[in-house]
Structure 1
Amino acid sequence: MRPSNTVLGVLVASIASARPLRLPEAPFLLALCSSGAALGMTVYVFSPNLWDPHERRLLGYRPGRGGSWLQEQVPLPDVVYDRSHYGSAEEQAAGAAMLAQMHRCKPFSRLSRPLPGKLHVQELLAGCEQLAPLLPDTLRCEGVQSLRAALRRFGGSLFIKPDAGMQGKGVLRITPAPEKGSWLAAGRTGSNRTFSTVIAGEDECVRRAARFAGRTAYLLQPALNLYDPEGRPFDVRALVQKNGKGRWSLTGCSVRKGLPGSVTSNLHGGGEPAEAAESLSMMFGGQLAESLLKRIRSASLLAAQTLESRCGRLAELGFDFGIEPDGRLWLLEANSKPGRACFLEHPGSPISIKAVRQPLLYARLLSSRGSSAAAAPPVPQPNRKTDGNSTRNHHTENVQEVHP
């Protein structure tokens, strides 16, 4: 039997030694460490640059006073919770090598694993008869001709997003402009800067869209009407997690509203969260809102089970749903490393507490299973569904800094 004190290491991308120290998702990480201590667990944050393979020594960060972080030598983990968002393929490779070295020193369990690219995920979900009607029509971007065909197929409107993107970066929305024969192209660059321009002529429109996509793997979808009555883009983020018994449950839902005129609702792009039931009731009325939330719950749990059956063990997933003005529901994306910002908006609320505690309880369960759960960590493989972008996987951000 293992000791009851589970050691959970939370992996993030490389941490700079600047002062004051800034960790990604700091409020969530702080809550994890605090809640873990209350459960009798040892929880710390580490990154690839804190591992010494020669000394087989790992440094990590644990909370200090006043919200500060203290660096200290930490025990090797029983379970690794991967929250890394690497900025390059090189950083990603360094992280994979570090985990392999650590695993040889002491086998550990992975709390979860990454998902493949968006198109592959959609193909997996489309194999479920109940989920297929919720998925928007999606094509792979393969240059000018594919863009032209998609623009005509989707009635002159088009939404273009990277297959491996995140946080709403690198997206482009094309819709007919008031001027006949022209299109409005609006979106966000890879660094999340907004842009908007009018393009005259279909040939010029698809040419500039192809230039925007570049050699990065992009997907083409219809530009759905996912705006509230005030013209703000919005979606519903559903967080599903495994509990301390290893069973899927819905932690909660939150509406995310973007800025007026924006094409995304992501909080990193200036959006803000809102309570789901109240916000949807204001837009659709109480009865339809209740029905929508029930459908979102059932679809999220079914999607989680479907993806886990195809991809291997998962611990939590964030699903983004779009809703058109007539109440048509769409399952837009699945995220294997869902953010917590919209669920930690009100610390101490039941949803915020559950969003933090569930991964801890599941980690403790995996630790109690011992070596049977501590399989060798998978080495990230290139996304087989890309167009030659062999160094990228689902969480590497490398979209082009090109305006259409």
Structure 2
Amino acid sequence: MLQAVTISKAPGKGVIYLPATIQESIPVTTVCFGSKSIPCTTVRTNNTSIKLTEDLWNSLLLPIDLSRIHFSIKDTTLHLGPLVGIFTSGFTPYLLRPIGERSRFFSKLLTAQKTISVCAYIFGEEHIDWENKLINGYYFTEEDGWKQAVYPFPSVIYDRLPNRKSERLKRSRIVKERMETEFTIPWYNPGFFDKLAIFERLDAEEQIQHYLPETQSAESIFQLEQMLRKYPSIYVKPIHGSLGKGIVQFYYEKKEGMYYARYERNEVQKLQKSVALEPLIKQALRGRPLQRFLVQQGIPLHINEGQVVDFRVHTNKDQHGVWQVTAIAAKRAGSGSATTHVKNGGKIVSLQELFEDLSTRQEVQKKLKKAALELSLSLERQLSGVIGEVGFDFGMDTDGRIWFFEANSKPGRSIFSHVDHREYEWLTRKLSLAFSIHVMNQQLNHDLAGLKL
């Protein structure tokens, strides 16, 4: 089991100074940091910290400013870590902003590492030296900003690819395949969720059925007309969409005998009507095949200031591999918008702003937490790969019932722009790296299958 410890340099050569209280009966002959493994001798001391002679420190490529790390002794090897490689793409040649607009997000993510005693760096496919098992990764400090340094291959990889396009690139797929198969490095948060596949998988989970609106693969005009007879409105969504792009709301006004479509086009909210559904669909979907979309039951959502409201809930696994709710925020739709997304005019609001009554606010919060934790466990059971974080979109209807709309494997950060959500933002960053401690523990115990438990 990994334990946190203070670590520093010591004079001498080839020696590790270990506290006498640490598994004294086990001789340590090797020290390991990521893919680096160096022979050593050990000396037991009365100190509570671990000290390495400078030659070992440099050979392991330990960061100069490292002061706390986790350790575990297995067989005769002292393992230091986790060394987390955060894999992404979209690098620029400019050290001031090496990952472009996302540089700020990554800099904030890296500042969390010292508080949880892990070591992390950012890298892309182009920074890997496969032959020598080294990576010319990026790190960030408040004092010096962005710098590059040579690191060993990591003990754990955290997937932060920005979009499906980068994920589908052959070079990205090769990195994942080689790291996992050739070097047996565990990889968490792989892939973007397929919206339709999520609902199909969750159909197997009886205990969460009451959260699921009717959701189908969009196949025909007749199918959409049938659903509009059952529900006040329906939503047609791109199966591989994100950020609310391409979502269309359809509804039928019986008194008028008219179909309506509400959607966003070039940052302008559109509301079109027709006596027939087919021309509306062609116009709203820009002629794209229906088969690229799913159709979902519309829910009569909670209203605030004349606009519908939904909720974003983040869950993260902690250092013990236990799901935690790390953020809850509400999103109020913009005027005339089919969605609550900020880019479509939506506004982030806190639960306190939304529900002034304390008991009501606590009840809603309790329901959202329960739904998020139950669905996190269900997704983990149903999906392949090691999942460490999820962003859920929920709705609450006029009767107070919670409905699940979407799950995001790499949730956006827009809710943290609200001043009341800054603490949430810190917690999500902290736990997204803290989960690597659990992953490394499972790796050391040869129990990667247990990561899904």
- With the length of structure 2 as denominator, give the TM-score of the two structures: 0.72
> Displaced runs of 4+ in structure 1, greater than 6 A?
none
User: 1:25-67 CA deviation, whole Å, 9 max, x = no partner?
Assistant: 4444222211113433221122234335466543322215578
Q: Which residue of 2 aligns with 1:335?
A: 408
Secondary structure of 2:80 counterpart: coil
Q: Which residue of 2 aligns with 1:6?
A: 82
The size of the alignment, in residue pairs, is 369
C-alpha distance in 1 between matches for 2:203 and 2:361: 25
Greater alpha carbon shift after TM alignment, 58-67 vs 220-229: 58-67
> Structure 1's 239 and 182: CA in aligned 2 closer, same or farther, altered over 3 A?
same
1:127 equivalenced with 2:204 (yes/no): yes
C-alpha distance in 2 between matches for 1:68 and 1:260: 41
The answer (yes or no) to whether the contact 1:107–1:374 under 8 Å persists in 2 is no
> Structure 1's 86 and 355: CA in aligned 2 closer, same or farther, altered over 3 A?
closer
> Which residue, 360, 375, 378 being the options, matches 1:303?
375
The answer (yes or no) to whether the contact 2:161–2:167 under 8 Å persists in 1 is no
User: How many Å apart are 1:172 and its aligned residue?
Assistant: 0.8
User: 1:324-352 CA deviation, whole Å, 9 max, x = no partner?
Assistant: 33423211112222233424644995433
User: How many Å apart are 1:306 and its aligned residue?
Assistant: 1.3
C-alpha distance in 2 between matches for 1:310 and 1:230: 38
C-alpha distance in 2 between matches for 1:60 and 1:252: 30
User: 1:224-252 CA deviation, whole Å, 9 max, x = no partner?
Assistant: 33363323342111112111111112223
1:199 equivalenced with 2:255 (yes/no): no
Residue correspondence of structure 1 range 25-174 to structure 2 within 5 A: 25-53=102-130, 56-65=133-142, 68-86=145-163, 88=165, 91-103=168-180, 106-114=183-191, 116-155=193-232, 157-174=233-250
C-alpha distance in 2 between matches for 1:103 and 1:266: 36
C-alpha distance in 2 between matches for 1:20 and 1:27: 10
Secondary structure of 1:252 counterpart: strand
What's the Cα RMSD here? Answer: 3.1
Structure 2 residues without counterparts, runs of 5 or longer: 1-72
User: How many Å apart are 1:221 and its aligned residue?
Assistant: 1.6
C-alpha distance in 2 between matches for 1:41 and 1:347: 28
> Which residue, 327, 336, 341 being the options, matches 1:252?
327
> Structure 1's 339 and 129: CA in aligned 2 closer, same or farther, altered over 3 A?
same
> Structure 1's 301 and 348: CA in aligned 2 closer, same or farther, altered over 3 A?
closer
Secondary structure of 1:342 counterpart: helix
1:354 equivalenced with 2:427 (yes/no): yes
Q: Which amino acid aligns with 2:91?
A: I
User: 1:290-334 CA deviation, whole Å, 9 max, x = no partner?
Assistant: 222211111211111111112243212121111233423211112
C-alpha distance in 1 between matches for 2:322 and 2:167: 35
Secondary structure of 2:316 counterpart: strand
> Which residue, 317, 322, 325 being the options, matches 2:390?
317
Q: Which amino acid aligns with 2:434?
A: L
Greater alpha carbon shift after TM alignment, 93-102 vs 344-353: 344-353
The answer (yes or no) to whether the contact 1:80–1:110 under 8 Å persists in 2 is yes
> Which residue, 224, 227, 241 being the options, matches 2:316?
241
User: How many Å apart are 1:219 and its aligned residue?
Assistant: 0.8
Q: Which one scores higher on RCO, CA 8 angstroms, separation ≥ 6?
A: 1
Greater alpha carbon shift after TM alignment, 29-38 vs 108-117: 108-117
User: How many Å apart are 1:90 and its aligned residue?
Assistant: 7.4
C-alpha distance in 2 between matches for 1:255 and 1:67: 37
Structure 1 residues without counterparts, runs of 5 or longer: 376-404
Q: Percent identity?
A: 23
Residue correspondence of structure 1 range 154-233 to structure 2 within 5 A: 154-155=231-232, 157-176=233-252, 180-188=256-264, 193-202=267-276, 203-209=278-284, 211-214=286-289, 217-226=292-301, 228-233=303-308
- With the length of structure 1 as denominator, give the TM-score of the two structures: 0.79
C-alpha distance in 2 between matches for 1:71 and 1:215: 47
Higher strand share: 2
C-alpha distance in 1 between matches for 2:421 and 2:402: 31
> Structure 1's 212 and 19: CA in aligned 2 closer, same or farther, altered over 3 A?
farther
User: How many Å apart are 1:213 and its aligned residue?
Assistant: 4.1
Residue correspondence of structure 1 range 365-404 to structure 2 within 5 A: 365-371=438-444, 372=446
User: How many Å apart are 1:353 and its aligned residue?
Assistant: 2.8
Greater alpha carbon shift after TM alignment, 60-69 vs 134-143: 60-69
Greater alpha carbon shift after TM alignment, 300-309 vs 59-68: 59-68
